[in-house]
Amino acid sequence: MSAEESVGAVAPRRPRIVVLISGSGTNLQALLDACRDGELTADIVAVGADRTDAAGLHRAATSGVPTFVVPPADFTGRQAWDEALASQIALFEPTWVVSAGFMRILGAAVLSAFPNRIINTHPALLPSFPGAHAVSDALSYGVKVTGCTVHLIDQGVDTGPVLAQRSLRIEPEDDEHTLHERIKEVERELLVEVVDQLCRHTVHVVGREVKLT
């Protein structure tokens, strides 16, 4: 991206959020709780998943939020899946799309339908350790500090402009599970804060820089 792009991020009243998940959905739960408690002035209008057994779908249902599932196996190829996912998301007219543990790479149809309006949360300090094994990769490398990153999604894998990061120390006794759980505690807080900021501002993306006004 070279030219300035202003994103129509601010709906007059309550921004609409679609959350995409693949797993347990604790980040989703943090967003649901923040909306319920008034910490986040937005509505989670739908939760989408790539698998019917994503536990986070129950969290959405419990909160009365509509859900949809678009499993790649139901489609002839990646492009057809991506187009179907874009259509499903679009039905809910989101202001923001939040990928919160959605373990698929979004394709051109989704990205072009919601330019600079999709964010992702990643359990490492990007650009270190992108991809699906960020926590074990950080442990294997032997870094002493890791964390989480909330970023805009672009065409790459975990390469979009960074919105916010938070760090934490790796303890000698950490294994992948304990470390990921500690990261997720920080990640949930950060995600709610970032979504709140995005919902309350207009977002300008200039190259890798993101400005909120």
Catalytic residues: 122
Considering the complex, what minimum distance in angstroms separates the CB of residue 44 from ligand GRF?
Answer: 14
Count of beta carbons in the 10 Å neighbourhood of residue 66: 14
Considering the complex, what minimum distance in angstroms separates the CB of residue 83 from ligand GRF?
Answer: 23
Q: Is 101 in the site for ligand GRF (CB under 6 A)?
A: yes
Q: Which of 7, 16, 25, 129 binds ligand GRF (CB under 6 A)?
A: 25
Looking at the Cβ atoms of 21 and 203, the one nearer to ligand GRF is 21
Q: Which of 9, 16, 18, 26 binds ligand GRF (CB under 6 A)?
A: 26
Residue 163: φ, ψ to 5°:
-95, -40
Count of beta carbons in the 10 Å neighbourhood of residue 12: 5
How many chain residues interact with ligand GRF (CB under 6 A)? 15
Residue 184: φ, ψ to 5°:
-65, -30
Let me know: does 152 contact 205? Beta carbons within 8 Å: yes
Q: Is 123 in the site for ligand GRF (CB under 6 A)?
A: yes
- Measured CA to CA in angstroms, residue 30 lies from 53, 91, 118 at distances of 20, 24, 18
Q: Is 147 in the site for ligand GRF (CB under 6 A)?
A: no
Q: Is 158 in the site for ligand GRF (CB under 6 A)?
A: no
Beta strands in 3-114 (DSSP E): 5-7, 16-21, 43-49, 67-69, 96-99
Let me know: does 176 contact 74? Beta carbons within 8 Å: no
Q: Which range touches ligand GRF (CB under 6 A), out of 57-65, 72-80, 115-123, 138-146?
A: 115-123
Q: Is 184 in the site for ligand GRF (CB under 6 A)?
A: yes
Considering the complex, what minimum distance in angstroms separates the CB of residue 204 from ligand GRF?
Answer: 25
- Measured CA to CA in angstroms, residue 33 lies from 2, 27, 62, 191, 192 at distances of 37, 10, 12, 12, 10
**Token pair belonging to 33:** 């709780």
Q: Which range touches ligand GRF (CB under 6 A), out of 105-113, 119-127, 170-178, 197-205?
A: 119-127
Looking at the Cβ atoms of 15 and 25, the one nearer to ligand GRF is 25
**Would you tell me which residues interact with ligand GRF (CB under 6 A)?**
21, 23-28, 56, 100-101, 121-123, 184, 187
